[in-house]
Structure 1
Amino acid sequence: MKRRFTLLVLVLSLVSLASAAPRIFLIGDSTMANKPADLPEWGWGMALGAFLVDPAMVQNHAQNGRSTKSFIDEGRWEKVRAELKSGDFVLIQFAHNDEKKDDPKRYADPATTYRDNLRRFISETRAQGATPLLATPVCRRKFNAAGKLTDTHGAYPDAVRAVAKETGVALLDLERATAAWLQATGDEPSRKFFMWIEPGAHPKIPDGRKDDTHFVEAGARQVASLAVADIRAQKLPLARWLK
């Protein structure tokens, strides 16, 4: 009887939390974005809801191929900003496309424009009474001949860290967390977390794929778990809404 009562209290507590839960707006690139259900590819934002008291808290606005610059220029940020309410959160993770110097529609210099765009997201989020969170970009799966993971993001992770420190915004250092995970897992074993699809293994990808940037479901869930672990470790306000 006592056990049933304890279980009932727990269930009612979770229901109460879910009913009052804030929204978590995700803005970023393809490594975070929602993907079509008929593909094996997952952005890690798709896996985040499983760690929350209410999966519907996640409002995933991340989009394939977007940088801080194109996300703003296409009006995607304005759409998110207009929806924000007091108590909401905005989780910001860009860099993969900001790095593309040969594409003026997306490139953002890590020393100037990229930082300015992050500052804009932060200040406009705060102006709406919401809480911004910064995340460094997740690592690509790129190993050298000696089996050591190599850097592909250059100055961008440090730019995010600098803006977080300057503005007092909480930082989820996913670049370091995913680097440690991939290095510990190793070159060949880590392929199972990415879009390494054998020819003929999936009807939508008949020729197969070797993609060291984008995740399958297992990889997305692992990255989401790393983000959640950091939220818990830092005892951020968002931790209240974790399971």
Structure 2
Amino acid sequence: MKRQLHIPLILSVMIMMLCSFKADKTITIFMIGDSTMANKDISDDKQERGWGMMLCNYFDDGIVVDNHAVNGRSSKSFIDEGRWTTVYNKIKPGDYVIIQFGHNDEKADKQRHTEPGSTFDENLRKFVRETREKGGIPVLMNSVVRRNFSGSKTAVADDDLRDNSSKALSEGDTLIDTHGAYLVSPRKVAKEMGVVFIDANKITHDLEQGMGKEGSKKLHMIFSPGEHPSLPDGRQDNTHYCVYGASKVASLLSDALCKAIPQLAKHHICYDVYVSKTGNGQYFDLSKAIENIPADKRTTIAITSGVWKKPVVPKGKKIKFIMLRGARFE
């Protein structure tokens, strides 16, 4: 009789152990970098996104993306402010750390500036070395390209690009690099230390050059006055991404990651449209996403997290819904 009383307890313990084992199998991708990667304020329908915000869309629930990138940070200031220590303390064996700096290491101020071939390289080595100390797997990327068709190799400061008073530069048809030797250091350190290297600069350069000087504007925070309610005065920003741009870049970089890393490829997914209440999708509103889908086009909509009202799909629209991160219809 006593043995029978213990059976429910034993089963409960076994279930807890199985759940714990399953949780431990989840892989975390930590992201460290600057504003081009960072999570953004989405209040009042703000349109800026870092590509790291969108990366979760391209992996199934076996992957958790933990984005620690912050606007304006260099490899130096990220360390000096204790942000790297925060990430280091969270890494567990089998996790990945994507490292992408350069935009702000180029800045002249002493709080952020590093030298390629010297202090910049040493900071990258530190991230790699300490990730491995925790059993993590480092991944080095160089900086995404700036949309610079001006012909000048001198970059306008990122902070200045947020100011719509900056006069538009005369543009040609060829994208010009502004990062110089800061693109070389991640590749060099990756080769030296046996780390996966993703040439994010070339990938985004080819994207923007392929779209051309006019088409590439759709990737960035380039809005005319009155074009969007959140930007009544408009904005001319050739560095930072809008919703479409961040999604496009995240898709391309996820492809590159999964090509280089078979373990991540097992979790790779890609759907037509993403809807999220937390700003990680192309839409906040499911009904709006459905409204914008053309009739007679087979479309898969991925819905992320939370409880959603089940929509009515108009006749003629062929839509399949995929629920991610615990999302469900009420």
> Same fold by TM (over 0.5)?
yes
Separation in structure 2 between the aligned mates of residue 55 and residue 151 of structure 1, nearest angstrom: 37
SS at match of 1:41: coil
Contact conserved, 1:26 with 1:59, CA < 8 A, in 2?
yes
**Equivalent in 211, 215, 218 of residue 185 of structure 1:** 211
Displacement, 1:198?
1.5
Separation in structure 2 between the aligned mates of residue 227 and residue 17 of structure 1, nearest angstrom: 27
Q: Which residue identity does 1:205 align to in structure 2?
A: L
Long gaps (5+) in structure 2: 1-20, 152-170, 270-330
Displacement, 1:56?
6.5
Residue correspondences, number: 227
Contact conserved, 1:18 with 1:54, CA < 8 A, in 2?
no
SS at match of 2:41: coil
Q: How does 1:89-108 map to 2 (within 5 A)?
A: 89-101=96-108, 103-108=109-114
Separation in structure 2 between the aligned mates of residue 130 and residue 46 of structure 1, nearest angstrom: 21
Displacement, 1:111?
1.4
The answer to whether the aligner puts 1:36 opposite 2:62 as a matched pair is no
The answer to whether the aligner puts 1:24 opposite 2:24 as a matched pair is no
**Equivalent in 54, 70, 81 of residue 74 of structure 1:** 81
Match of 1:220 in 2: 246
SS at match of 1:171: strand
Contact conserved, 1:135 with 1:173, CA < 8 A, in 2?
yes
The answer to whether the aligner puts 1:197 opposite 2:223 as a matched pair is yes
Report 1 or 2 for greater relative contact order, CA contacts < 8 Å, sequence distance ≥ 6.
1
Q: How does 1:143-154 map to 2 (within 5 A)?
A: 143=149, 144=151, 145-154=171-180
**Equivalent in 86, 89, 114 of residue 93 of structure 2:** 86
Contact conserved, 2:62 with 2:267, CA < 8 A, in 1?
no
Match of 1:166 in 2: 192
SS at match of 1:85: coil
Displacement, 1:26?
0.4
| Coordinate RMSD, CA, aligned | 1.7
Match of 2:132 in 1: 126
Contact conserved, 1:49 with 1:55, CA < 8 A, in 2?
no
Q: Greater helix percent: which structure? A: 1
Match of 1:114 in 2: 120
- Which digits, 9 at most, give the CA deviation of each residue in 1:140-167, with x for residues without a partner? 0011343000001010111110001001
CA shift in 2, pair 1:92/1:111, >3 Å: same
- Which digits, 9 at most, give the CA deviation of each residue in 1:63-107, with x for residues without a partner? 000000000000000010011111111001110000002x10000
From the CA coordinates, give the structure whose radius of gyration is larger: 2
- With 208-217 and 140-149 compared, the bigger mean Cα shift is at 140-149
Separation in structure 1 between the aligned mates of residue 36 and residue 48 of structure 2, nearest angstrom: 10
Match of 1:138 in 2: 144
Separation in structure 2 between the aligned mates of residue 194 and residue 88 of structure 1, nearest angstrom: 31
**Equivalent in 154, 163, 176 of residue 202 of structure 2:** 176
Displacement, 1:235?
4.0
Normalised to the residue count of structure 1, the TM-score between the two structures is 0.89
The answer to whether the aligner puts 1:207 opposite 2:233 as a matched pair is yes
Q: Which residue identity does 1:105 align to in structure 2?
A: Q
Contact conserved, 1:35 with 1:42, CA < 8 A, in 2?
yes
Contact conserved, 1:26 with 1:90, CA < 8 A, in 2?
yes
Separation in structure 2 between the aligned mates of residue 55 and residue 48 of structure 1, nearest angstrom: 13
Q: Which residue identity does 1:65 align to in structure 2?
A: G
**Equivalent in 56, 74, 82 of residue 49 of structure 1:** 56
Match of 2:326 in 1: none
The answer to whether the aligner puts 1:229 opposite 2:236 as a matched pair is no
SS at match of 1:42: coil
**Equivalent in 57, 65, 68 of residue 72 of structure 2:** 65
Long gaps (5+) in structure 1: 1-15
Match of 2:291 in 1: none
Displacement, 1:54?
2.0
Separation in structure 1 between the aligned mates of residue 226 and residue 62 of structure 2, nearest angstrom: 33
- With 161-170 and 48-57 compared, the bigger mean Cα shift is at 48-57
Match of 2:6 in 1: none
Separation in structure 2 between the aligned mates of residue 55 and residue 236 of structure 1, nearest angstrom: 14
- With 227-236 and 137-146 compared, the bigger mean Cα shift is at 227-236
Separation in structure 1 between the aligned mates of residue 76 and residue 264 of structure 2, nearest angstrom: 27
